[in-house]
Amino acid sequence: KQEVTQIPAALSVPEGENLVLNCSFTDSAIYNLQWFRQDPGKGLTSLLLIQSSQREQTSGRLNASLDKSSGRSTLYIAASQPGDSATYLCAVPNNAGNMLTFGGGTRLMVKP
Amino acid sequence: GAGVSQSPRYKVAKRGQDVALRCDPISGHVSLFWYQQALGQGPEFLTYFQNEAQLDKSGLPSDRFFAERPEGSVSTLKIQRTQQEDSAVYLCASSSRRTLASQETQYFGPGTRLLVL
């Protein structure tokens, strides 16, 4: 059974810092990996989706990398801003492609 | 266009009460998913529909949980005889693809926050 773990569980940084969020998964036979953002009381918004054949994806100040063989992904946020404060979740689909397994999330607070 | 909508946004139920949670997916999306998210945790899969067919219900925690999507669009998650451990946010998501093994993402609704007293 796929297990997804995120470290750290919570993170507080001053505005402007570059930061890295970590995601690990136990079964490396994945189709893709997604990073989501969740604001309090809101649903999930997809940030980046990395296909298994890709090593990284970039969107603005966000860069996600994927190392399938080691079962790891990182989300890099450059020049963090207070508006980046949210919970960040990574997720992978199962072999049948009909469900996502999520990590527990990293709760990020960026202080002005 | 409109995203995934869910109603009610908040529901308070007394223990033992039945509740029904509604999900309106994005129009034309064939796949619909329900997840349960406990406080401080990531979402956990409950069930999956492809059009009106419920193809996977392995995540439903007990036979008190029932989901349907009779016409392949709107879905309802019903919880009978609610218990305190059912308190959570229930998220609905939809996708235009039949499989998540693609570049197409799932689009999530805002969730229904259920509190069982």
Please answer whether residues B21 and B13 qualify as being in contact, where contact means their C-beta atoms are separated by less than 8 angstroms: no
Residues of B in contact with A101 (CB under 8 A): 45
Residue A69 Cα to chain centre, angstroms: 17
Report the amino acid identity of residue B91. Answer: L
Q: Does B62 touch chain A (CB under 8 A)?
A: no
Q: Which residue of A has its CA nearest to B91?
A: A43
The minimum CA-CA distance between B80 and chain A, rounded to whole Å, is: 24
Residues of A in contact with B109 (CB under 8 A): 43
Measured distance CA(A22)–CA(A64) in Å, rounded: 10
Check A99 against B33: CB less than 8 A apart.
Answer: yes
Q: Does B39 touch chain A (CB under 8 A)?
A: no
Check B108 against A45: CB less than 8 A apart.
Answer: yes
The confidence score (pLDDT) of residue B2 equals 79
pLDDT in tens, B19-73: 999 999 999 999 999 999 999 999 999 999 999 999 999 999 999 999 999 999 9
CB-based contacts of A62: which residues, under 8 Å, 6+ apart?
A35, A47, A48, A75, A76, A77, A78
Residues of A in contact with B91 (CB under 8 A): 43-44
Q: Which residue of A has its CA nearest to B104?
A: A49
Measured distance CA(B114)–CA(A111) in Å, rounded: 31
Residues of B in contact with A54 (CB under 8 A): none
Intra-chain end-to-end CA distance of chain A, in Å: 41
The minimum CA-CA distance between A60 and chain B, rounded to whole Å, is: 19
pLDDT in tens, A35-69: 999 998 888 999 999 999 999 999 999 999 999 99
Please answer whether residues A93 and A99 qualify as being in contact, where contact means their C-beta atoms are separated by less than 8 angstroms: yes
The confidence score (pLDDT) of residue B27 equals 94
